[in-house]
Amino acid sequence: MKKIFQSIILVLAVASVTACKTSAKEEPEIVATQSVETDEIIKDVFTDNYGDKIEVAINNTDNTAVVHLDGKSYELKKNKDLPDYTASNSEYQYSNIRGNITFLKRNVDMVLFHHKQDKKAQGDSKMASY
């Protein structure tokens, strides 16, 4: 009787160990997914008549513009009250009005950069002249 009892306990021990291992394998893995939001960023480089270059990165998702001029960076917020694309902060203002790029220091009205779009680059508009 003692041997049968020991055999039953041994079989139950083996069965419980095997059952624990198989249930651990069947547990689903929990994977955390993060939604990746891509920003809509437009980068342009403009050159003025003096050969100075300005790099502008416009983030349409955050409504911000980062301007790089003469080794300095300026972060500006889009202003919806002004025409076309205009961004500013307390000291500086960037505007792109029909291809005319202007970057100025606001408190002294000093133009730091000005780029005028070529008339040839505007496209061929065929209008009748009389």
Would 29 be classed as within a structural domain?
Answer: no
pLDDT at 91: 92
3-state helix, strand, coil in the chain (%, to 5): 20, 40, 40
User: Mind listing the pLDDT tens digit for each residue in 37-70?
Assistant: 677 888 999 998 888 999 999 998 888 999 999 8
Dihedrals phi, psi of 23, to nearest 5 degrees: -70, -30
Would 112 be classed as within a structural domain?
Answer: yes
**Quick one: DSSP state of residue 127?**
-
Would 73 be classed as within a structural domain?
Answer: yes
pLDDT at 128: 56
Would 79 be classed as within a structural domain?
Answer: yes
Total domains present in the chain: 1
Q: Range of 73's domain?
A: 41-118
Answer for the pair 78, 65: CB distance below 8 angstroms, yes or no: yes
CATH number of the CATH domain containing 99: 2.40.128
Does residue 81 register a pLDDT over 90?
A: no
| Cα–Cα distance for residue pair 130/48, rounded to 1 Å | 35
| Cα–Cα distance for residue pair 60/79, rounded to 1 Å | 12
Would 54 be classed as within a structural domain?
Answer: yes
Would 36 be classed as within a structural domain?
Answer: no
Would 35 be classed as within a structural domain?
Answer: no
- Least Cα distance to 82 among 73, 93, 91, 92 occurs for 93
| Average pLDDT along the chain | 78
Would 77 be classed as within a structural domain?
Answer: yes
